[in-house]
Each structure stands twice: as C-alpha cells, then as structure tokens.
Amino acid sequence: MATEIERKFLVQGDGWRTVSGTRYRQGYLADTNGRTVRVRVAGDRGYITIKGPTRGVARAEFEYEIPLDDAEELLDTLCDRPLIEKTRYRIPWGDLAWEVDEFAGENQGLIVAEIELPSVDRAIDLPDWIGEEVSHDARYYNVNLAKHPFTNWSNQGG
C-alpha cells in the first residue's frame, strides 16, 4: 500500500519565491467517510488519485496518470464545483522538497506549504517563510477547500 505522510503549514512572506511554478486544476468525483477520488491536471499531465482517511499526518494514497483529454473532460463534466485552481512551486530542501501552493479562483489569497516525509517521526528544518502548522486543521485539506473555499471564510487564515 502507498502511504502519504505530509505536513502542512501556512506561508509567510515571499522568501519561497525562488522557482517557477506549475498550474494545477483539480476536482473531486467522490468524498465519503474520509475517502476521496480526485482528478487533477498538472501542467500538461492528467492524474486520478484515490486517498484513504487521514490518520495523524498519514493516509493511503494511490495516484495514476491518465490521458490529459480524459482528465480535462472529467474536470469539466463530472467533478464537483468549485474546482481547485492553484500554482504549485517545488522547492528543494535538503533531501526533501517543499511544495508551495498559491491558490487562485475561489481560494485566492491562500498560500500553503506541504512537505512529504519518509516517516511520521522525521524531523524537519523549517525555512523562515514557514508559518503556523495546519496539518491537523481539516479546513486546509483541498477536498474541503473545494466545499468551503477560503474566500468564504469569515476569519481568513485562522
């Protein structure tokens, strides 16, 4: 089984803006009991991803590349609205990499950094542009941002 171990943080300042990003569009076909089925277009590639319930900072994840035309048709015709729109910046950090997501559309104004870890207990050195950890705050899960966009929060960022 594939396992995703990921920690999420809010981003502060612009010190992370050192690389170019890739545009993402993604939507959800299903979201039941913590299990999700997501379709994504990242640049010029399409993916379908199945995720299990989150347990701490880990969850089962299975991702498969699919034809770009299929991914776009699924996003346009079958995925719930609104879609998640963002630009992802991949920033190498030691033997790991940060992924900074700068959201657009209905989540404009939100910037979140994620780091995937090889184990739950892996210590990480945080860059100075990393702010509050939101790993355990379900509002920041992309599936929930699709249902309750950041621009609709009454107390944005907190």
Over the chain (158 residues), the average pLDDT of each successive run of 10 is 91 95 98 96 98 92 98 98 97 96 97 96 95 96 96 73
> What is the predicted pLDDT for the residue at 155?
63
Residue 132 sits in a domain whose CATH number is 2.40.320.10
**Residue 84 CB partners (closer than 8 Å, separation 6+):** 24, 25, 26, 27, 103, 105, 107, 142, 145, 146
Please report whether residue 97 resides in a domain: yes
Inside any domain, residue 157: no
Burial class of residue 112, CB neighbours in 10 A (0-12, 13-18, 19+)? buried
Active site residues per annotation: 28
158 lies in some domain: no
* Predicted local distance difference test score (pLDDT) of residue 154: 81
Q: State how many domains the chain has.
A: 1
Give the residue numbers spanning the domain of 79.
3-152
What distance in Å separates the CA atoms of residue 58 and residue 41, rounded to the nearest whole number? Answer: 23
